[in-house]
Amino acid sequence: MKLKSCIAAAAIGLSLSLIDNGAIAVKSSKYAYQKMADTSGSFNSFGLPVINNAGTVAFSANTDGALGAYTSTGKIITTIAENVVLYESIGSPIAINDSGTVAFVATPARGATTAEYPTETIFTSTNGKVTQVPAYKPSPESGYPSYDRIVSLALNNRGTIAYVAQNMRGIGVLSSDGRLIAEANDARLSTVDSANINDRGTVAYRSQNGYEFNILAHKGTITKTLTSTTYPLYVMAPKSGAFSPSLNNRGTVAYVALEVTPTSEYTAEFNPAKAAILKNNGTKITTVADTNGAYSSFSSGSNFNFAAVPPAINDRGTVAFFAQLDTGGEGIFIGPDPVKHKVIASGDSLFGYMVQSVALSTDGINDFGQVTFIAWLANGTEVIVRADPFGTGCNCFVK
């Protein structure tokens, strides 16, 4: 399998490669599993994949000598960008909308697209044409430096990007149409986390102010609090590992809630063993799953030493989430019953090898119920997978 491409093609996003895994390799009673990319060739490792309603998966990857952004249909991998000419580096945040436009983060090569010292910048790629998104710059009167590190991004079907960026003074939620949605200047007391945006232009993000944790929805000039909690009640996932709450086009957000206990003025202990996957439509909070049953945690890592893994929600209200089990092991699920609602779990056989662990992004499920994830297999291979559910109207994607 040849994934590397000539420099010119890589720069404009036209290089293509075929996935030589043939037809779908594995089927379960509920899903067919399509290999989208793996590390048996030039790819060495992957960033979290995202999926659109066409079933196309976008991802970042470390290749032999380069970092890049790519898409996969399950049969063809397309190179969107690689840091070979135009970019000094390419980051892991990536997004894709239903028209196939991909947004990615890269540091332009000095002299390639900017005369200034290069900083992290957002680019979009549509039909092979790459465009640099103008960076938000604070007014000179504010005294704030420009934002130079992109933490996360999200892209809607209208082409608007919501993102979180940092500068020397703080962190902000911004959008590609020039809005500064929220800003925090003291990470100990006040901060904002990654944002998501839907087709209505609503931006959802998590905010912390002292001991208060909020999920906020911003549209136009109005910011609405969707959920607000203070210690020691359930709160959103901790800052150190929380990405954006997942937001659908109906305005419903899905997120992880953890019980916490303050340990000092600025610190707290989080209890992953008492947690819930929740969704909130602005008027009602619904529990999707919690740790009162078969799930032991929604946090990754042994002994829960990593933060909670944010879930993903589609427009039908289906929530896909990562969980660890009381009986051991981990997996991705879409409901409270780990047998009935399993997408994939450690110990399952996938492409001829046992699954050891998995990972999911906040844009890891589409409206047809297709779920994309990373799986680490017993043979040492890392693979990006698309799980296609049967009987839900998406069998058109199963070739």
**β-bridge mates for residue 219, sequence order:** 222
Residue range 244-298, pLDDT digits in tens? 589 999 999 998 887 766 676 656 666 778 888 989 888 888 999 999 999 999 9
Measured distance CA(383)–CA(37) in Å, rounded? 6
Quote the pLDDT of residue 143: 63
Under 8 Å between Cβ of 3 and 42: yes
More confident residue, 241 or 228: 228
Quote the pLDDT of residue 303: 44
Amino acid at 343: V
Quote the pLDDT of residue 129: 94
Under 8 Å between Cβ of 291 and 276: yes
Q: Tokens 């020039």, residue? A: 178
**Tokens found for residue 310:** 């944010």
Band the pLDDT of 308: cuts 50, 70, 90.
confident
Q: Tokens 């293509």, residue? A: 16
Q: SS3 sequence, the chain?
A: CCCCCCHHHHHHCCCEEECCCCCCCEECCCEEEEEEEECCCCEEEECCCEECCCCCEEEEEEECCEEEEEEECCCEEEEEEECCCCEEEEEEEEEECCCCCEEEEEEECCCCCCCCCCCCEEEEEECCEEEECCCCCCCHHHCCCCCCEEEEEEECCCCCEEEEEECCCCEEEEECCCCEEEEECECCCEEEEEEEECCCCCEEEEEEECCEEEEEEEECCEEEEEEEEECCCEEECCCCCCCCCEECCCCCEEEEEEEEEECCCCCEEEEEEEEEEEEECCCCEEEEEECCCCEEECECCHHHCCCECCCEECCCCCEEEEEEECCCCEEEECCCCCCCCEEEECCCEECCEEEEEEECCCCCECCCCCEEEEEEECCCCEEEEEEEECCCCCHHHCC
Residue range 60-105, pLDDT digits in tens? 999 877 889 999 999 999 999 998 778 888 888 899 999 999 999 9
Residue 247: name the closest of 189, 205, 286, 185 by CA: 205
Measured distance CA(347)–CA(357) in Å, rounded? 9
More confident residue, 3 or 278: 278
More confident residue, 265 or 222: 222
Give the angle subtended at the CA of 363 by the CAs of 359 and 365, to the nearest 5°.
85
**String of b and e for 23-59 (b: at least 16 CB within 10 Å)?**
ebebebebbbbbbbbbbebbbeebbbbbbbbbbbbbb
Quote the pLDDT of residue 7: 32
Band the pLDDT of 197: cuts 50, 70, 90.
very high
Quote the pLDDT of residue 229: 66
Band the pLDDT of 226: cuts 50, 70, 90.
confident
CB atoms within 10 A of CB 145: 11
**β-bridge mates for residue 174, sequence order:** 163, 180
State the average pLDDT over residues 125-147.
Answer: 80
Measured distance CA(299)–CA(142) in Å, rounded? 39
Band the pLDDT of 170: cuts 50, 70, 90.
confident
**β-bridge mates for residue 209, sequence order:** 190, 212
Mean pLDDT of the chain: 82
Backbone angles phi, psi at 3, to 5 degrees: -105, -25
Decide the pairing of beta strands 66-72 and 57-63: antiparallel
Amino acid at 359: A
**β-bridge mates for residue 253, sequence order:** 247, 280
Given phi > 0 = left and psi -120 to 50 = alpha, else beta, which region is 86? Answer: alpha
Q: Over 70: is that where the pLDDT of 351 sits?
A: yes
Quote the pLDDT of residue 146: 76
Residue 43: name the closest of 65, 24, 22, 27 by CA: 65
Residue range 98-126, pLDDT digits in tens? 999 999 999 887 765 544 556 888 999 99
Quote the pLDDT of residue 244: 57
Measured distance CA(77)–CA(60) in Å, rounded? 12
